[in-house]
A and B are shown apart, each in its own frame.
Chain A
Protein backbone atom coordinates (compact mmCIF):
# COMPACT_ATOMS: atom_id res chain seq x y z
CA UNK A 1 0.00 0.00 0.00
CA UNK A 2 1.28 3.40 -0.93
CA UNK A 3 1.20 5.27 2.34
CA UNK A 4 2.26 8.67 1.15
CA UNK A 5 5.98 8.17 0.74
CA UNK A 6 5.60 9.35 -2.85
CA UNK A 7 3.26 12.31 -2.90
CA UNK A 8 0.55 12.12 -5.56
CA UNK A 9 0.98 15.88 -6.03
CA UNK A 10 4.04 15.21 -8.15
CA UNK A 11 2.05 13.36 -10.79
CA UNK A 12 -1.02 15.59 -10.95
CA UNK A 13 -1.05 16.62 -14.62
CA UNK A 14 -2.03 19.78 -16.41
CA UNK A 15 -5.46 19.00 -17.84
CA UNK A 16 -7.37 21.05 -20.41
CA UNK A 17 -10.62 21.78 -18.58
CA UNK A 18 -12.33 23.96 -21.20
CA UNK A 19 -14.44 23.05 -24.23
CA UNK A 20 -12.88 23.36 -27.67
CA UNK A 21 -14.68 24.96 -30.60
CA UNK A 22 -15.25 21.52 -32.13
CA UNK A 23 -16.73 20.31 -28.88
CA UNK A 24 -19.04 23.34 -28.77
CA UNK A 25 -20.18 22.62 -32.33
CA UNK A 26 -20.85 18.96 -31.48
CA UNK A 27 -22.82 20.07 -28.42
CA UNK A 28 -24.93 22.45 -30.50
CA UNK A 29 -25.82 19.67 -32.97
CA UNK A 30 -26.74 17.18 -30.23
CA UNK A 31 -28.65 19.77 -28.23
CA UNK A 32 -30.74 20.88 -31.15
CA UNK A 33 -31.59 17.28 -32.07
CA UNK A 34 -32.59 16.44 -28.50
CA UNK A 35 -34.58 19.65 -28.10
CA UNK A 36 -36.58 18.80 -31.22
CA UNK A 37 -37.02 15.08 -30.64
CA UNK A 38 -36.56 14.35 -26.96
CA UNK A 39 -38.09 17.21 -24.99
CA UNK A 40 -39.36 16.19 -21.54
CA UNK A 41 -42.96 15.84 -22.71
CA UNK A 42 -41.89 13.40 -25.44
CA UNK A 43 -39.77 11.42 -23.01
CA UNK A 44 -42.68 11.26 -20.57
CA UNK A 45 -45.09 10.08 -23.25
CA UNK A 46 -42.67 7.38 -24.39
CA UNK A 47 -42.36 5.85 -20.93
CA UNK A 48 -45.69 4.06 -21.22
CA UNK A 49 -44.75 2.28 -24.44
CA UNK A 50 -43.06 -1.12 -24.52
CA UNK A 51 -40.12 -0.29 -26.75
CA UNK A 52 -36.66 -0.70 -25.24
CA UNK A 53 -35.48 2.72 -26.37
CA UNK A 54 -36.34 5.48 -28.84
CA UNK A 55 -35.02 3.83 -32.03
CA UNK A 56 -35.67 6.82 -34.31
CA UNK A 57 -33.88 9.20 -31.97
CA UNK A 58 -31.01 6.74 -31.61
CA UNK A 59 -30.62 6.51 -35.38
CA UNK A 60 -30.42 10.30 -35.70
CA UNK A 61 -28.02 10.69 -32.81
CA UNK A 62 -25.81 7.68 -33.47
CA UNK A 63 -25.73 7.54 -37.24
CA UNK A 64 -26.75 10.92 -38.70
CA UNK A 65 -24.76 13.07 -36.25
CA UNK A 66 -22.29 10.20 -35.95
CA UNK A 67 -21.87 10.18 -32.19
CA UNK A 68 -21.78 6.38 -31.85
CA UNK A 69 -18.34 6.20 -33.43
CA UNK A 70 -16.63 9.03 -31.54
CA UNK A 71 -14.39 6.70 -29.55
CA UNK A 72 -13.58 4.46 -32.54
CA UNK A 73 -10.46 5.26 -34.61
CA UNK A 74 -11.08 6.31 -38.20
CA UNK A 75 -9.32 3.27 -39.65
CA UNK A 76 -11.84 1.10 -37.81
CA UNK A 77 -14.81 2.98 -39.18
CA UNK A 78 -15.25 5.57 -36.44
CA UNK A 79 -14.82 9.32 -36.05
CA UNK A 80 -11.45 9.09 -34.32
CA UNK A 81 -12.44 11.50 -31.56
CA UNK A 82 -11.83 11.08 -27.85
CA UNK A 83 -13.51 10.76 -24.49
CA UNK A 84 -13.71 14.58 -24.38
CA UNK A 85 -16.21 14.65 -27.26
CA UNK A 86 -18.15 11.64 -25.97
CA UNK A 87 -18.43 13.47 -22.64
CA UNK A 88 -20.07 16.44 -24.35
CA UNK A 89 -22.66 14.10 -25.93
CA UNK A 90 -23.36 12.59 -22.51
CA UNK A 91 -23.82 16.02 -20.94
CA UNK A 92 -26.56 16.72 -23.46
CA UNK A 93 -28.12 13.27 -22.99
CA UNK A 94 -28.21 13.94 -19.25
CA UNK A 95 -29.75 17.34 -19.79
CA UNK A 96 -32.54 15.74 -21.84
CA UNK A 97 -32.74 12.43 -19.90
CA UNK A 98 -32.79 10.97 -23.41
CA UNK A 99 -33.71 7.26 -23.50
CA UNK A 100 -30.90 6.09 -25.82
CA UNK A 101 -28.23 3.41 -25.29
CA UNK A 102 -25.27 5.78 -25.72
CA UNK A 103 -23.40 5.03 -22.50
CA UNK A 104 -23.92 1.29 -22.89
CA UNK A 105 -23.20 0.89 -26.60
CA UNK A 106 -21.01 3.82 -27.71
CA UNK A 107 -18.93 3.97 -24.52
CA UNK A 108 -18.88 0.69 -22.56
CA UNK A 109 -19.23 -1.82 -25.43
CA UNK A 110 -17.01 0.15 -27.80
CA UNK A 111 -14.24 0.54 -25.22
CA UNK A 112 -14.42 -3.15 -24.32
CA UNK A 113 -14.07 -4.12 -28.01
CA UNK A 114 -11.23 -1.66 -28.57
CA UNK A 115 -9.21 -3.55 -25.96
CA UNK A 116 -9.55 -6.78 -27.94
CA UNK A 117 -7.50 -7.70 -31.00
CA UNK A 118 -9.21 -5.37 -33.42
CA UNK A 119 -7.16 -6.46 -36.40
CA UNK A 120 -9.24 -9.65 -36.20
CA UNK A 121 -11.91 -9.42 -38.90
CA UNK A 122 -14.85 -10.30 -36.65
CA UNK A 123 -13.80 -7.79 -33.95
CA UNK A 124 -13.28 -5.07 -36.57
CA UNK A 125 -16.68 -5.84 -38.11
CA UNK A 126 -18.40 -5.60 -34.71
CA UNK A 127 -16.64 -2.31 -33.95
CA UNK A 128 -17.62 -0.85 -37.30
CA UNK A 129 -21.24 -1.86 -36.76
CA UNK A 130 -21.25 -0.21 -33.32
CA UNK A 131 -19.47 2.88 -34.64
CA UNK A 132 -22.03 3.39 -37.38
CA UNK A 133 -24.92 2.88 -34.97
CA UNK A 134 -26.14 -0.15 -36.94
CA UNK A 135 -25.82 -2.39 -33.91
CA UNK A 136 -26.47 -1.73 -30.21
CA UNK A 137 -23.79 -3.41 -28.13
CA UNK A 138 -24.00 -4.04 -24.41
CA UNK A 139 -21.33 -5.12 -21.95
CA UNK A 140 -23.07 -7.75 -19.84
CA UNK A 141 -22.24 -6.58 -16.31
CA UNK A 142 -24.57 -5.48 -13.52
CA UNK A 143 -25.02 -1.71 -13.80
CA UNK A 144 -23.57 -1.04 -10.30
CA UNK A 145 -20.21 -2.66 -11.20
CA UNK A 146 -17.31 -0.35 -10.35
CA UNK A 147 -14.00 -0.30 -12.24
CA UNK A 148 -12.02 -3.24 -10.89
CA UNK A 149 -15.25 -4.67 -9.51
CA UNK A 150 -15.37 -7.86 -11.61
CA UNK A 151 -12.46 -9.51 -9.84
CA UNK A 152 -14.69 -12.00 -7.99
CA UNK A 153 -15.92 -15.35 -9.39
CA UNK A 154 -17.74 -14.86 -12.70
CA UNK A 155 -21.44 -15.57 -12.74
CA UNK A 156 -21.22 -16.98 -16.28
CA UNK A 157 -19.13 -20.02 -17.29
CA UNK A 158 -18.06 -21.03 -20.79
CA UNK A 159 -17.22 -24.57 -21.85
CA UNK A 160 -14.46 -25.58 -24.26
CA UNK A 161 -16.87 -25.27 -27.17
CA UNK A 162 -17.72 -21.66 -26.26
CA UNK A 163 -21.21 -22.39 -24.88
CA UNK A 164 -22.16 -19.95 -22.11
CA UNK A 165 -24.19 -20.78 -19.03
CA UNK A 166 -25.11 -18.50 -16.14
CA UNK A 167 -26.88 -15.30 -15.24
CA UNK A 168 -26.06 -11.59 -15.16
CA UNK A 169 -28.52 -9.35 -13.35
CA UNK A 170 -29.44 -5.67 -13.76
CA UNK A 171 -27.79 -5.11 -17.13
CA UNK A 172 -28.54 -1.65 -18.57
CA UNK A 173 -30.17 -1.67 -22.00
CA UNK A 174 -30.18 -5.49 -22.00
CA UNK A 175 -33.37 -5.65 -24.04
CA UNK A 176 -31.94 -3.27 -26.65
CA UNK A 177 -28.79 -5.33 -27.16
CA UNK A 178 -28.01 -6.81 -30.56
CA UNK A 179 -24.50 -7.79 -29.47
CA UNK A 180 -23.65 -8.87 -25.95
CA UNK A 181 -20.09 -8.74 -24.64
CA UNK A 182 -20.04 -11.24 -21.80
CA UNK A 183 -17.26 -11.58 -19.22
CA UNK A 184 -17.18 -15.28 -18.30
CA UNK A 185 -15.07 -17.93 -16.65
CA UNK A 186 -13.72 -19.93 -19.59
CA UNK A 187 -11.89 -23.25 -19.64
CA UNK A 188 -8.55 -21.38 -19.29
CA UNK A 189 -9.61 -18.65 -16.87
CA UNK A 190 -11.30 -15.26 -17.25
CA UNK A 191 -12.43 -14.48 -20.78
CA UNK A 192 -14.65 -12.17 -22.79
CA UNK A 193 -17.16 -13.58 -25.26
CA UNK A 194 -19.40 -12.05 -27.92
CA UNK A 195 -22.94 -13.40 -27.94
CA UNK A 196 -25.74 -12.77 -30.40
CA UNK A 197 -28.82 -12.52 -28.18
CA UNK A 198 -31.10 -13.62 -31.02
CA UNK A 199 -29.18 -16.84 -31.67
CA UNK A 200 -30.86 -18.87 -28.95
CA UNK A 201 -29.82 -19.81 -25.47
CA UNK A 202 -30.22 -16.25 -24.19
CA UNK A 203 -33.23 -15.08 -22.19
CA UNK A 204 -33.78 -11.46 -21.26
CA UNK A 205 -36.13 -10.73 -18.38
CA UNK A 206 -36.90 -7.07 -18.20
CA UNK A 207 -37.27 -5.59 -14.76
CA UNK A 208 -39.18 -2.50 -13.71
CA UNK A 209 -36.42 0.04 -13.22
CA UNK A 210 -36.29 3.01 -10.85
CA UNK A 211 -35.04 5.04 -13.81
CA UNK A 212 -37.52 4.46 -16.61
CA UNK A 213 -35.24 6.16 -19.13
CA UNK A 214 -32.51 3.53 -18.72
CA UNK A 215 -34.14 0.07 -18.96
CA UNK A 216 -32.64 -2.87 -17.08
CA UNK A 217 -32.82 -6.60 -17.70
CA UNK A 218 -31.56 -9.87 -16.26
CA UNK A 219 -29.72 -12.05 -18.78
CA UNK A 220 -29.81 -15.82 -18.50
CA UNK A 221 -27.45 -17.88 -20.65
CA UNK A 222 -28.31 -21.53 -21.20
CA UNK A 223 -25.72 -22.97 -23.56
CA UNK A 224 -25.67 -19.78 -25.63
CA UNK A 225 -23.02 -19.89 -28.38
CA UNK A 226 -20.21 -17.44 -27.61
CA UNK A 227 -17.40 -16.17 -29.79
CA UNK A 228 -14.17 -15.80 -27.80
CA UNK A 229 -12.86 -12.21 -27.91
CA UNK A 230 -10.13 -12.13 -25.29
CA UNK A 231 -8.72 -14.29 -22.54
CA UNK A 232 -6.78 -13.93 -19.32
CA UNK A 233 -5.29 -10.59 -18.33
CA UNK A 234 -6.33 -9.03 -21.58
CA UNK A 235 -9.97 -9.88 -20.98
CA UNK A 236 -9.78 -8.46 -17.47
CA UNK A 237 -7.94 -5.34 -18.58
CA UNK A 238 -10.30 -4.47 -21.41
CA UNK A 239 -13.40 -4.88 -19.22
CA UNK A 240 -11.72 -2.74 -16.56
CA UNK A 241 -10.82 -0.05 -19.04
CA UNK A 242 -14.41 -0.04 -20.29
CA UNK A 243 -15.73 0.33 -16.75
CA UNK A 244 -13.23 3.11 -15.99
CA UNK A 245 -14.16 4.97 -19.18
CA UNK A 246 -17.86 4.47 -18.50
CA UNK A 247 -17.57 5.70 -14.93
CA UNK A 248 -15.51 8.73 -15.96
CA UNK A 249 -17.92 9.74 -18.71
CA UNK A 250 -20.99 9.07 -16.58
CA UNK A 251 -19.84 12.11 -14.58
CA UNK A 252 -20.63 14.25 -17.62
CA UNK A 253 -24.13 12.79 -17.85
CA UNK A 254 -24.56 13.60 -14.15
CA UNK A 255 -23.39 17.14 -14.86
CA UNK A 256 -26.03 17.47 -17.58
CA UNK A 257 -28.77 16.20 -15.26
CA UNK A 258 -27.71 18.68 -12.58
CA UNK A 259 -27.54 21.58 -15.05
CA UNK A 260 -31.10 21.04 -16.25
CA UNK A 261 -32.42 20.71 -12.71
CA UNK A 262 -30.76 23.93 -11.55
CA UNK A 263 -31.80 25.92 -14.63
CA UNK A 264 -35.43 24.81 -14.28
CA UNK A 265 -35.45 25.53 -10.55
CA UNK A 266 -34.10 29.05 -11.11
CA UNK A 267 -36.63 29.64 -13.88
CA UNK A 268 -39.53 28.38 -11.76
CA UNK A 269 -38.67 30.29 -8.57
CA UNK A 270 -38.10 33.52 -10.48
CA UNK A 271 -41.65 33.25 -11.86
CA UNK A 272 -43.60 31.67 -9.02
CA UNK A 273 -45.11 34.34 -6.77
CA UNK A 274 -46.13 33.86 -3.12
CA UNK A 275 -46.39 36.43 -0.31
CA UNK A 276 -46.51 39.09 -3.02
CA UNK A 277 -43.11 38.47 -4.58
CA UNK A 278 -41.20 35.86 -6.58
CA UNK A 279 -40.19 33.06 -4.21
CA UNK A 280 -36.73 33.12 -5.77
CA UNK A 281 -36.15 36.54 -4.18
CA UNK A 282 -36.18 35.04 -0.66
CA UNK A 283 -32.67 34.49 0.66
CA UNK A 284 -33.71 31.17 2.19
CA UNK A 285 -34.24 29.89 -1.35
CA UNK A 286 -31.73 31.85 -3.38
CA UNK A 287 -28.87 30.84 -1.09
CA UNK A 288 -29.72 27.21 -1.68
CA UNK A 289 -29.70 27.75 -5.43
CA UNK A 290 -26.42 29.66 -5.27
CA UNK A 291 -24.86 26.77 -3.35
CA UNK A 292 -26.16 24.38 -6.02
CA UNK A 293 -24.63 26.57 -8.71
CA UNK A 294 -21.24 26.21 -7.05
CA UNK A 295 -21.77 22.44 -6.87
CA UNK A 296 -22.56 22.35 -10.59
CA UNK A 297 -19.60 24.57 -11.54
CA UNK A 298 -17.35 22.28 -9.50
CA UNK A 299 -18.90 19.15 -11.03
CA UNK A 300 -18.08 20.58 -14.46
CA UNK A 301 -14.40 20.91 -13.56
CA UNK A 302 -14.33 17.37 -12.13
CA UNK A 303 -16.13 15.86 -15.14
CA UNK A 304 -13.94 17.70 -17.65
CA UNK A 305 -10.85 16.58 -15.78
CA UNK A 306 -11.93 12.93 -15.96
CA UNK A 307 -12.79 13.20 -19.67
CA UNK A 308 -9.46 14.85 -20.43
CA UNK A 309 -7.50 12.24 -18.45
CA UNK A 310 -9.27 9.44 -20.35
CA UNK A 311 -8.80 11.20 -23.69
CA UNK A 312 -5.06 11.68 -23.14
CA UNK A 313 -4.62 8.22 -21.60
CA UNK A 314 -3.10 9.95 -18.60
CA UNK A 315 -1.73 7.72 -15.83
CA UNK A 316 -3.79 9.96 -13.55
CA UNK A 317 -7.06 8.69 -15.12
CA UNK A 318 -7.97 6.31 -12.24
CA UNK A 319 -7.66 9.19 -9.76
CA UNK A 320 -9.49 11.63 -12.02
CA UNK A 321 -12.36 9.15 -12.56
CA UNK A 322 -12.65 8.26 -8.87
CA UNK A 323 -12.72 11.96 -7.96
CA UNK A 324 -15.30 12.76 -10.66
CA UNK A 325 -17.61 9.89 -9.70
CA UNK A 326 -17.43 10.46 -5.98
CA UNK A 327 -18.13 14.17 -6.52
CA UNK A 328 -20.56 14.38 -9.45
CA UNK A 329 -22.89 11.51 -8.47
CA UNK A 330 -24.08 13.12 -5.21
CA UNK A 331 -24.21 16.57 -6.86
CA UNK A 332 -26.68 15.29 -9.48
CA UNK A 333 -28.81 13.69 -6.76
CA UNK A 334 -28.70 16.81 -4.56
CA UNK A 335 -29.68 19.19 -7.36
CA UNK A 336 -32.45 16.87 -8.53
CA UNK A 337 -33.81 16.56 -4.99
CA UNK A 338 -33.71 20.33 -4.53
CA UNK A 339 -35.41 20.71 -7.90
CA UNK A 340 -38.36 18.65 -6.65
CA UNK A 341 -38.48 20.49 -3.31
CA UNK A 342 -38.19 24.02 -4.70
CA UNK A 343 -40.89 23.32 -7.28
CA UNK A 344 -43.29 22.63 -4.42
CA UNK A 345 -46.36 20.53 -5.20
CA UNK A 346 -45.85 20.57 -8.96
CA UNK A 347 -42.45 18.89 -8.45
CA UNK A 348 -44.21 15.88 -6.93
CA UNK A 349 -46.46 15.27 -9.95
CA UNK A 350 -46.01 12.77 -12.77
CA UNK A 351 -46.73 15.42 -15.41
CA UNK A 352 -43.75 17.61 -14.40
CA UNK A 353 -40.48 16.12 -15.69
CA UNK A 354 -38.50 16.73 -12.45
CA UNK A 355 -39.07 13.10 -11.40
CA UNK A 356 -37.37 11.82 -14.56
CA UNK A 357 -34.21 13.67 -13.56
CA UNK A 358 -34.41 12.58 -9.92
CA UNK A 359 -34.74 8.94 -10.99
CA UNK A 360 -31.90 9.21 -13.49
CA UNK A 361 -29.69 10.96 -10.92
CA UNK A 362 -30.37 8.38 -8.21
CA UNK A 363 -29.85 5.47 -10.61
CA UNK A 364 -26.68 7.07 -11.95
CA UNK A 365 -25.38 7.38 -8.39
CA UNK A 366 -25.39 3.59 -8.12
CA UNK A 367 -24.17 2.99 -11.66
CA UNK A 368 -20.56 1.95 -12.29
CA UNK A 369 -19.65 2.22 -8.62
CA UNK A 370 -21.29 4.22 -5.84
CA UNK A 371 -19.50 7.32 -4.52
CA UNK A 372 -18.32 5.34 -1.52
CA UNK A 373 -16.77 2.66 -3.73
CA UNK A 374 -14.91 5.31 -5.68
CA UNK A 375 -13.64 6.94 -2.48
CA UNK A 376 -12.39 3.53 -1.33
CA UNK A 377 -10.52 3.19 -4.61
CA UNK A 378 -9.07 6.64 -4.09
CA UNK A 379 -7.78 5.71 -0.65
CA UNK A 380 -5.44 3.22 -2.30
CA UNK A 381 -4.58 5.46 -5.24
CA UNK A 382 -3.51 8.53 -3.26
CA UNK A 383 -2.16 6.92 -0.14
CA UNK A 384 -4.81 7.63 2.48
CA UNK A 385 -4.85 4.14 3.95
CA UNK A 386 -7.78 2.82 5.95
CA UNK A 387 -7.20 2.24 9.69
Chain B
Protein backbone atom coordinates (compact mmCIF):
# COMPACT_ATOMS: atom_id res chain seq x y z
CA UNK B 1 0.00 0.00 0.00
CA UNK B 2 2.80 2.38 0.95
CA UNK B 3 4.47 1.61 -2.38
CA UNK B 4 1.33 2.52 -4.33
CA UNK B 5 1.12 5.83 -2.50
CA UNK B 6 4.77 6.53 -3.19
CA UNK B 7 4.34 5.92 -6.91
CA UNK B 8 1.23 8.06 -6.99
CA UNK B 9 3.23 10.97 -5.59
CA UNK B 10 6.02 10.41 -8.13
CA UNK B 11 3.48 10.28 -10.99
CA UNK B 12 1.80 13.48 -9.82
CA UNK B 13 5.16 15.22 -9.62
CA UNK B 14 6.03 14.07 -13.13
CA UNK B 15 2.73 15.27 -14.55
CA UNK B 16 3.12 18.66 -12.90
CA UNK B 17 6.70 18.98 -14.11
CA UNK B 18 5.77 18.17 -17.68
CA UNK B 19 3.13 20.93 -17.64
CA UNK B 20 5.64 23.56 -16.70
CA UNK B 21 7.72 23.54 -19.89
CA UNK B 22 8.95 26.96 -21.10
CA UNK B 23 7.24 29.30 -23.56
CA UNK B 24 6.86 28.18 -27.18
CA UNK B 25 8.61 30.46 -29.66
CA UNK B 26 8.34 30.29 -33.44
CA UNK B 27 9.11 32.37 -36.51
CA UNK B 28 6.10 33.38 -38.58
CA UNK B 29 5.31 34.93 -41.94
CA UNK B 30 5.54 38.75 -41.59
CA UNK B 31 2.82 39.25 -44.21
CA UNK B 32 0.41 36.62 -42.86
CA UNK B 33 -3.06 37.81 -41.90
CA UNK B 34 -3.09 38.67 -38.21
CA UNK B 35 -6.34 38.67 -36.22
CA UNK B 36 -5.17 38.41 -32.62
CA UNK B 37 -7.35 41.32 -31.48
CA UNK B 38 -9.74 43.70 -33.19
CA UNK B 39 -7.29 46.60 -32.78
CA UNK B 40 -5.07 48.06 -35.49
CA UNK B 41 -2.49 45.47 -36.55
CA UNK B 42 0.22 44.61 -39.05
CA UNK B 43 -2.20 43.42 -41.74
CA UNK B 44 -3.98 46.78 -41.63
CA UNK B 45 -0.70 48.64 -41.91
CA UNK B 46 0.41 46.56 -44.88
CA UNK B 47 -2.87 46.83 -46.76
CA UNK B 48 -3.00 50.61 -46.23
CA UNK B 49 0.53 51.10 -47.53
CA UNK B 50 0.05 48.79 -50.52
CA UNK B 51 -3.23 50.38 -51.61
CA UNK B 52 -2.08 53.99 -51.28
CA UNK B 53 1.25 53.47 -53.02
CA UNK B 54 -0.45 51.65 -55.93
CA UNK B 55 -3.01 54.46 -56.16
CA UNK B 56 -0.38 57.16 -56.19
CA UNK B 57 2.03 55.71 -58.73
CA UNK B 58 -0.75 54.70 -61.13
CA UNK B 59 -2.56 58.05 -61.05
CA UNK B 60 -2.23 59.33 -64.68
CA UNK B 61 -0.96 62.89 -64.00
CA UNK B 62 1.60 61.47 -61.55
CA UNK B 63 2.67 58.83 -64.09
CA UNK B 64 3.21 61.61 -66.61
CA UNK B 65 5.08 63.85 -64.18
CA UNK B 66 7.38 61.11 -62.91
CA UNK B 67 8.18 59.73 -66.37
CA UNK B 68 11.05 62.16 -66.89
CA UNK B 69 12.11 63.14 -63.36
CA UNK B 70 11.95 62.08 -59.74
CA UNK B 71 10.27 64.85 -57.69
CA UNK B 72 11.46 65.46 -54.13
CA UNK B 73 8.82 64.91 -51.45
CA UNK B 74 8.64 65.76 -47.77
CA UNK B 75 6.48 63.60 -45.51
CA UNK B 76 4.58 65.38 -42.74
CA UNK B 77 3.26 63.61 -39.63
CA UNK B 78 0.04 61.68 -40.09
CA UNK B 79 -2.59 62.79 -37.57
CA UNK B 80 -3.99 60.00 -35.45
CA UNK B 81 -7.69 60.76 -34.92
CA UNK B 82 -8.70 57.26 -33.85
CA UNK B 83 -9.42 55.87 -30.39
CA UNK B 84 -6.25 53.76 -30.41
CA UNK B 85 -2.60 54.58 -29.87
CA UNK B 86 -1.36 53.89 -33.39
CA UNK B 87 2.19 54.62 -34.49
CA UNK B 88 1.31 56.56 -37.64
CA UNK B 89 4.98 57.21 -38.31
CA UNK B 90 5.39 53.53 -39.01
CA UNK B 91 2.64 53.73 -41.69
CA UNK B 92 4.30 56.69 -43.39
CA UNK B 93 7.66 54.92 -43.18
CA UNK B 94 6.23 51.96 -45.09
CA UNK B 95 4.53 54.22 -47.65
CA UNK B 96 7.72 56.21 -48.07
CA UNK B 97 9.90 53.10 -48.50
CA UNK B 98 7.55 51.66 -51.11
CA UNK B 99 7.43 54.93 -53.03
CA UNK B 100 11.19 55.26 -52.95
CA UNK B 101 11.60 51.71 -54.18
CA UNK B 102 9.21 52.39 -57.06
CA UNK B 103 11.93 54.68 -58.38
CA UNK B 104 9.52 57.55 -59.02
CA UNK B 105 10.08 59.78 -56.01
CA UNK B 106 12.88 61.01 -53.81
CA UNK B 107 12.46 62.14 -50.19
CA UNK B 108 13.95 64.56 -47.74
CA UNK B 109 14.00 63.09 -44.25
CA UNK B 110 12.87 65.69 -41.74
CA UNK B 111 13.25 63.28 -38.82
CA UNK B 112 17.02 63.20 -39.41
CA UNK B 113 17.55 66.96 -39.80
CA UNK B 114 19.15 67.35 -36.40
CA UNK B 115 21.56 64.48 -36.89
CA UNK B 116 22.47 65.72 -40.38
CA UNK B 117 23.09 69.19 -38.99
CA UNK B 118 25.40 67.82 -36.31
CA UNK B 119 27.34 65.76 -38.83
CA UNK B 120 27.74 68.79 -41.16
CA UNK B 121 28.89 70.89 -38.23
CA UNK B 122 31.42 68.24 -37.36
CA UNK B 123 32.69 68.12 -40.96
CA UNK B 124 33.10 71.89 -41.29
CA UNK B 125 33.95 73.01 -37.77
CA UNK B 126 35.83 70.22 -36.00
CA UNK B 127 38.95 70.60 -38.12
CA UNK B 128 39.22 66.84 -38.45
CA UNK B 129 37.69 66.55 -41.94
CA UNK B 130 39.50 67.53 -45.16
CA UNK B 131 37.73 70.79 -46.20
CA UNK B 132 37.87 69.72 -49.84
CA UNK B 133 35.90 66.59 -49.07
CA UNK B 134 33.49 68.04 -46.45
CA UNK B 135 29.80 68.30 -47.31
CA UNK B 136 29.04 72.02 -47.61
CA UNK B 137 26.12 73.87 -46.03
CA UNK B 138 23.38 75.35 -48.17
CA UNK B 139 23.39 72.74 -50.90
CA UNK B 140 20.46 70.58 -49.86
CA UNK B 141 17.50 70.21 -52.19
CA UNK B 142 14.18 71.69 -51.13
CA UNK B 143 11.09 69.53 -51.35
CA UNK B 144 8.63 70.17 -54.16
CA UNK B 145 5.73 68.22 -52.67
CA UNK B 146 4.38 67.45 -49.24
CA UNK B 147 2.70 64.17 -48.32
CA UNK B 148 0.35 64.36 -45.34
CA UNK B 149 -2.90 62.94 -44.07
CA UNK B 150 -4.88 61.58 -41.20
CA UNK B 151 -6.39 58.45 -39.85
CA UNK B 152 -9.78 58.27 -38.20
CA UNK B 153 -12.01 55.51 -36.90
CA UNK B 154 -15.57 54.77 -35.95
CA UNK B 155 -16.12 52.11 -33.29
CA UNK B 156 -19.45 50.50 -32.50
CA UNK B 157 -20.00 47.88 -29.86
CA UNK B 158 -22.86 46.06 -28.20
CA UNK B 159 -22.97 43.12 -25.81
CA UNK B 160 -22.29 40.57 -28.54
CA UNK B 161 -20.19 42.18 -31.23
CA UNK B 162 -17.76 44.91 -32.07
CA UNK B 163 -17.25 46.79 -35.32
CA UNK B 164 -14.30 49.01 -36.17
CA UNK B 165 -14.03 51.12 -39.29
CA UNK B 166 -10.73 52.82 -40.14
CA UNK B 167 -10.26 55.46 -42.79
CA UNK B 168 -6.78 56.48 -43.80
CA UNK B 169 -6.43 59.54 -46.05
CA UNK B 170 -3.19 60.61 -47.71
CA UNK B 171 -2.73 63.80 -49.75
CA UNK B 172 0.03 65.12 -51.99
CA UNK B 173 0.31 68.89 -52.18
CA UNK B 174 2.54 71.05 -54.37
CA UNK B 175 4.37 73.23 -51.84
CA UNK B 176 4.82 76.17 -54.24
CA UNK B 177 1.39 76.37 -55.83
CA UNK B 178 -0.55 74.89 -52.91
CA UNK B 179 -2.46 72.69 -55.34
CA UNK B 180 -3.44 69.24 -54.14
CA UNK B 181 -2.10 66.95 -56.85
CA UNK B 182 -3.44 63.69 -55.50
CA UNK B 183 -5.42 62.22 -52.61
CA UNK B 184 -5.94 58.60 -51.75
CA UNK B 185 -8.10 56.80 -49.24
CA UNK B 186 -8.08 53.35 -47.74
CA UNK B 187 -10.95 52.00 -45.70
CA UNK B 188 -10.84 48.96 -43.44
CA UNK B 189 -13.72 47.35 -41.60
CA UNK B 190 -13.19 44.76 -38.91
CA UNK B 191 -15.77 42.97 -36.84
CA UNK B 192 -15.39 40.82 -33.77
CA UNK B 193 -18.03 38.56 -32.31
CA UNK B 194 -18.26 36.87 -28.95
CA UNK B 195 -17.93 33.13 -28.92
CA UNK B 196 -20.28 31.17 -26.71
CA UNK B 197 -17.78 29.29 -24.59
CA UNK B 198 -14.10 29.51 -23.70
CA UNK B 199 -11.69 28.54 -20.95
- Do A and B belong to a common assembly? no
